[in-house]
Amino acid sequence: MKKVLSIAGSDPSGGAGIQADIKTISAHRMYAMSVETALTVQNTMGVHEVFGIPADFVKKQLEYVLEDIPPDAVKIGMLFSADTISCIAETLDKFGAKNIVLDPVMLSTSGKRLLDETAESILIKKLFPLSDLVTPNIHEAEKISGIKINSIEDIKKAASLLSKRCKGNVLVKGGHFGECIDVLYFENQFFIFEGKRINNPNTHGTGCTLSSAIACGLAAGKSIPESVMLAKEYVSGAIGAMLDIGKGRGPLDHFWNLK
């Protein structure tokens, strides 16, 4: 059985973060593991509060898991502080973790800032270089690249700039832009994943779900472009299943593919 590790924050309402990752990995019939970086007070209407797990405790969680069960892929989501990010980078490097997908979560869907300036720069300096794929959304791509995004050409420019900071592979997600077109920059080539915007307000956790599904593809030995293609199909199916839970932006149906 392939094993996938999620390093992320918890969402007690079950739609995003660690909970979305575990559901996604399970729906891919893989073995899910999780290292928590933060607890949140959150529901479908937004993130109210964040409690960061102390960095040395995050490090111990990670070391204990890696010593025992080496993962076939790792997905990294919400991180809390510069110290946490440094500990995670050092530990992943020490254990030679492979197939790392980094979702550089900086803002919650509802717009709450999740990383301070220092943490953001440590993320780019220490975790980007270890990551086989980085998956920013439009806002994160704009922030990291400094390019204002108004067109697919702008997305391409931002992706190629960002690629210089990691192992060269970047997926800019288009969920907040027009027809949900995602742009992958892989081995100096662009791959455009044409989406179709699904008319469903319940998109809580799309980013977490996509990056975990990509990690599952890599764990299964698929290439980055194929993993992205399959993950996008999985997320579209999970949005298209039209689950409607909660009073705000509700979660996806992670198990639509098993029905």
Ligand X SMILES: Nc1ncnc2c1ncn2[C@@H]1O[C@H](COP(=O)(O)OP(=O)(O)OP(=O)(O)O)[C@@H](O)[C@H]1O
Which of ligand X, Mg ion, none lies near 75, with the C-beta cut-off 5 to 8 A by kind?
none
Nearer to ligand X, 9 or 207 (CB): 207
Whether the Cβ atoms of residue 234 and residue 195 lie closer than 8 Å to each other: no
Nearest to 101 by CA among 74, 81, 80, 122: 74
Nearer to ligand X, 14 or 66 (CB): 14
Is residue 77 near ligand X by the rule CB under 6 A? Answer: no
Q: Roughly what angle, to the nearest 10 degrees, separates helices 152-163 and 138-145?
A: 60
166 flagged as catalytic: no
x/- track of binding to ligand X for residues 163-192 (CB under 6 A): ----------xxxx---x-x----------
Q: Which of 208, 216, 217, 232 is catalytic?
A: 208
Nearest to 56 by CA among 92, 84, 36: 84
Nearest to 116 by CA among 127, 125, 107, 103: 107
Nearer to Mg ion, 42 or 91 (CB): 42
Query: Binding ligand X by CB under 6 A: which of 65, 235, 243, 252?
Result: 235
> Is residue 126 helix, strand or coil?
helix
- Rounded to a whole number of angstroms, the minimum distance from the CB of residue 77 to ligand X is 9
Element (H, E) at 62: helix 55-68
Is residue 205 near Mg ion by the rule CB under 5 A? Answer: no
How far is 174 from 168, CA to CA, in rounded Å?
A: 19
Is residue 155 near ligand X by the rule CB under 6 A? Answer: no
Q: DSSP class of residue 124? A: I
> Which parts of this chain interact with Mg ion (CB under 5 A)?
207
> Which parts of this chain interact with ligand X (CB under 6 A)?
16, 109, 137, 173-176, 180, 182, 195, 197-198, 203, 205-208, 210, 232, 235-236, 239
